[in-house]
Structure formats: C-alpha cells, structure tokens
Structure 1
Amino acid sequence: MIAHLRLILAAAGFALITIILLPVQLLFVKTGWSLQKKLPVLFHKVVRHLLGIRIHVHGKMAQNRPLLLAANHSSWADIVVLSAIAEVSFIAKSQVATWPLFGLFAKLQRSVFVEREKRGKTHDQASEIATRLADGDVMVLFAEGTTSDGNRILPFKTSLFGAAQVAIRETSVETVTIQPVAIAYTRVHGLPMGRFHRPIIAWPGDVELGPSLIGMLKEGAYDVDVRFGEPVVIDSKSDRKALARLMEEKVRAMMQRSLQDRD
C-alpha cells in the first residue's frame, strides 16, 4: 500500500513539474537563451527528490574548459543524478531520441545523439561533440557504450574519446580536459544495497524502461555516490586508446571504493 502511494505521489509530482517547466525549456532552447543550461538542473533536482535519491558527491567537477566527463552507466537515473549536480549535456545513443517523452527530455537538454554501430559516421559525430566542447559545454560520455548491472565496470569504448582530439584539430582549442566520474548506488532505505539488491536501480540493456521506472518509484530512498576523479589534460598527440584505458581504470577504482563503503 505504501509503495503504491509513493508511486502515485511521485508520478503526480513528475507530471506537474513537467507541465510547468517543459514549455519554458522549449522556449529557452529555441531562443538560445543561456537559461537553457540552468533549467535542467532545477528540473532534475526536483525529480531526484521525487525518486528519493540522496546524492553524496566526492571531489569536484573540473573548472577547466573544454571538459569531457567519462562516466560509467548502470541506470537511467544516472541522468537525473548528474544533471542535478551540474550543467551538463549527454552523448546518447541515437535510439534515445525516439523514446516517448524521455527522447524529448534528452533533446531539451541538448544531448548529442550518436550511432555507435555506424563507423562511417564516427567522424561527423565526433565533430559535433567537438564543437560543443569548444563552445564550453560540459559533455558526459557514458564510455561503456551500454548500461551495466551496477556491480562492475564494462570495458570503455575508445571511439568517441576521439572527439576530444577532433576539438583540438578542428577548433581553436589547444587542450581538452577529460575527467573520470564514477556513479555507484550504495544504499536503499539506509541499508547497504549489495549485489542482490542493486538490480532494483540498475537498468541493464535487456530490461524495459517502464518496469524499471515503476519499480524504482515504488521503492524510494536511495543513496548514490558520485566521485569526480583527477582530471587529465590531453593535446593533439595524446593516444585515445590509452586515454580510454586510463579512464576505465580510474572509474573502476573509484566505483569499488564506493561499493566497499570507503570515503
């Protein structure tokens, strides 16, 4: 009974905040007003409260620009968590653009949609990301290329790390800062989540969004660690494959620190 009441209240709150802010953000994006970067932060702060997510931030997001954040990805809630912390945009798979409502949200947050399986488009996609980086937008790359079960880090894909070097080659910037970010869901109702309960919030690729969303809304009261690691500054001579491996190692180490409940 309590779970269903929580679901109804959260859904009603989500509908209300969407009705109020979505048309406003649509106007901001169409007019190019600078508030288009700030409004998603407000929206996601409200949504994370509705979901019952408590965020624990360790470290700070780098101040250098251009800045690319290389993060792990285990849940659709990662979007809410990162967006509630800072003004960011996401590099998302092309299918997201077609999702009902959530695709519109992604577009209004000025996401860049990529087709990872079409290698012939890699350069054009990297160029779009590079332009956004050079313009000062903080872009989030979920470097695993898919969602995990929340207990481990999958191998980082190397292709879109090349966008950072494209920004150096094709724009006026001389360096790009890459910062590793680890997102780890650690507790539910104040109790350690553990491997058994982490699927409550994890969203592996074969699980439909609807049931995952409803299940999470019913449960409520989650704790998540977000760790910002030591940033790395790259230039035109940097090796993107070595960079991807380094980011993977850093994110894995930070995630394990959170899962083992160490500050």
Structure 2
Amino acid sequence: MISWLRLGLAAIAIAAASLVLLPLQLLSLRFDWKLRRYLPRYWHRIVCYWLGIRVHVIGDMERQRPLMLAANHASWIDILVLSSIADVAFIAKSEVRDWPIFGHFARMQKSVFVKREEKRKTGHQVNEIAERMAGGEIMVLFPEGTTSDGNRLLEVKSSLFGAAAMALEQAPGDVVHVQPVAIAYTRIYGTAMGRYHRPIAAWPGDIELIPHLKALLACGAIDVDICFGEAVDYRADSNRKHVSATVADRIRTMLSARLRGRGDPLPRISG
C-alpha cells in the first residue's frame, strides 16, 4: 500500500514539474535560448528525488572549456543522474531518437544523434558537436557505444573521440579537455548493492524495459556515485587511440574503486 502511494505521489510530482518546465523547454529550443541548457537540470533533479535515486559526487568537473565528458554507460538512469548535476547535452546513436519516452526526452535536451554507418551525415553531426562545445556547452560521450551490466567497463571505441578532434579547429588554445567520468550504482536501501542486485539499476540490451522499470520503481532507494577524474588534454598532435586508452583506464580505475567500496567514504550528495 505504501509503495503504491509513493509511486502515485511520484507520478503526480513529476507530472506537475513537467507541465511547468517542458513548455518552457520547448520555447527555449524553438528560439534557441540559452535557457534550454539549464532547465533540464531542474527537471532531472526532481525526477531523481521522486524515484529515490540519491546522487553522490566525488571529485570536481573540469572548469576549462571546451569540455567533453566521457562516461561508462550502464543504464538510461545515467542520463538522469548526469543531467541532475550539470548542464550537459548527450551524443547518442541515431536509434535513440525514435525510442518511446527516452527518445522524446533526448530531443528535448537537444542531444546530437549520430548515424555511424552514414559517414557523410556523421561529418555534419560531428561539426555540430564541435560548434556547441566551442560555444561552451558540455557534451557527454558514452564511448562504449552501448550499455553494460554496471559491473565493468566494456571496450571503448576510440573512433567516437573523433568529435573532440573536430572541435580543435574552434577551440581556444587549440585544446579540448576530455574528462573521464565513472558512474557506479553502489547501494540499495543503504546497503551494498553487489553484482546480484545491480541489474535493478543497470539496463543492458538483453533486458526488457517494462520489467526493468517496474523493479526500479518498486525499489525507490538507490545510491549512485558520480566520479570525476583528471581530464586529458586533446591537442592537434594527440594520438586518438592513446587518449582513448588513457580515458578508459581512468574510468575503469574509478569504477572499480567505487564498486568495491574504496575511495572517499562520504561523497557529497548533489543539490
């Protein structure tokens, strides 16, 4: 009974926030107001709160621009938690645009949808990413190219860092800062989550969405750690594969430490 009541209150609160913020976001997108960068953060914070997702931040986001965040990808929840702590936009595969619910919200956040199989269109999309980074926007890349089970970092695709190379032409100082970010789902009801329970948060491709959503909503008490690592400077003479490997190593190290309960024992809660 309490669970259904909580879900009902959450639905009402999220719907009310959406009725206020989504029309403003639509107007901001229509006229390309800078407000479009900031509104999603407030909506995502409200959603995380009512879904019972507590976001802990370890480290600091790089202050220099242009900035690209490269993060491991375990779930659609990654979008919620990253957007709740920073004004970011996402680089997503083209299929996401047509997904129910998630595709709509991705468009509302002005994500860049990349068609990797069509090189001509990919070039245009990479140019858009470069222009927006040069304009001060923070772009988020999931270099694994897919979601994992949340217990490890999958192989990182160095080709996806091409957007950082393209942004160099418009970057002040001829440098783009690529910061590794680890997203670790660590606790459920305040206790260590472990490999067995992590699929409640993680959403690898072989798990159907509806059962996954039901399990998440029924839970209502998940802690996620967001770790910001040392940024890597991408310059004209940088080797893309070397940058990719360095970023991957730093993500892997941070992710492993958080999943094993090591590192800062009292990360701050965002918001």
2-structure distance, mates of 1:154, 1:12: 37
TM-score normalised to structure 1 length: 0.95
1-structure distance, mates of 2:2, 2:119: 49
**Residue identity matched to 1:261:** G
Q: Does 1:191 align with 2:198?
A: no
**Residue identity matched to 1:10:** A
Q: Is this contact kept in 2: 1:122–1:159, CA < 8 A?
A: no
1:201 is aligned to: 201
1-structure distance, mates of 2:131, 2:207: 34
2-structure distance, mates of 1:29, 1:87: 15
2-structure distance, mates of 1:76, 1:125: 22
Deviation at 1:172?
5.1
Deviation at 1:182?
0.2
In structure 2, the gaps of 5 or more residues are: 264-271
Identify if the C-alpha distance between structure 1 residues 214 and 9 changes in structure 2 by more than 3 Å, giving closer, same or farther.
Answer: farther
**1:72-97 per-position Cα deviation (integer Å, ceiling 9, x unaligned):** 01011111100010100000111111
Deviation at 1:119?
4.6
Same amino acid, percent of matched pairs: 54
Identify if the C-alpha distance between structure 1 residues 209 and 16 changes in structure 2 by more than 3 Å, giving closer, same or farther.
Answer: farther
**1:80-115 per-position Cα deviation (integer Å, ceiling 9, x unaligned):** 100010100000111111123322211121110012
Identify if the C-alpha distance between structure 1 residues 190 and 216 changes in structure 2 by more than 3 Å, giving closer, same or farther.
Answer: same
2:82 is aligned to: 82
- Between 1:64-73 and 1:14-23, the stretch displaced more is 14-23
Task: Report how many aligned residue pairs link the two structures.
Answer: 262
Q: Does 1:10 align with 2:10?
A: yes
Deviation at 1:54?
1.0
Identify if the C-alpha distance between structure 1 residues 237 and 186 changes in structure 2 by more than 3 Å, giving closer, same or farther.
Answer: same
Q: Is this contact kept in 2: 1:148–1:202, CA < 8 A?
A: yes
**1:152-173 per-position Cα deviation (integer Å, ceiling 9, x unaligned):** 100111112011111113x354
Matches for 1:139-150 after TM superposition, within 5 Å:
139-150=139-150
**Residue identity matched to 2:110:** R
Q: Does 1:247 align with 2:247?
A: yes
2:164 is aligned to: 164
2-structure distance, mates of 1:237, 1:123: 21
Deviation at 1:7?
2.7
Secondary structure at the aligned position of 2:62 is classed as coil
**1:125-182 per-position Cα deviation (integer Å, ceiling 9, x unaligned):** 322211111111100001110000000100111112011111113x354110000000
**CA RMSD in angstroms, aligned pairs only:** 1.5
Secondary structure at the aligned position of 2:257 is classed as helix
1-structure distance, mates of 2:136, 2:217: 34
Secondary structure at the aligned position of 2:36 is classed as helix
Q: Is this contact kept in 2: 1:70–1:141, CA < 8 A?
A: yes
Deviation at 1:224?
0.7
Q: Is this contact kept in 2: 1:6–1:218, CA < 8 A?
A: no
Matches for 1:1-263 after TM superposition, within 5 Å:
1-119=1-119, 121-169=121-169, 171=170, 173=172, 174-263=174-263
**Residue identity matched to 1:109:** Q
- Between 1:15-24 and 1:205-214, the stretch displaced more is 205-214
Secondary structure at the aligned position of 2:136 is classed as coil
Deviation at 1:51?
1.0
**Residue identity matched to 1:3:** S
2-structure distance, mates of 1:124, 1:31: 21
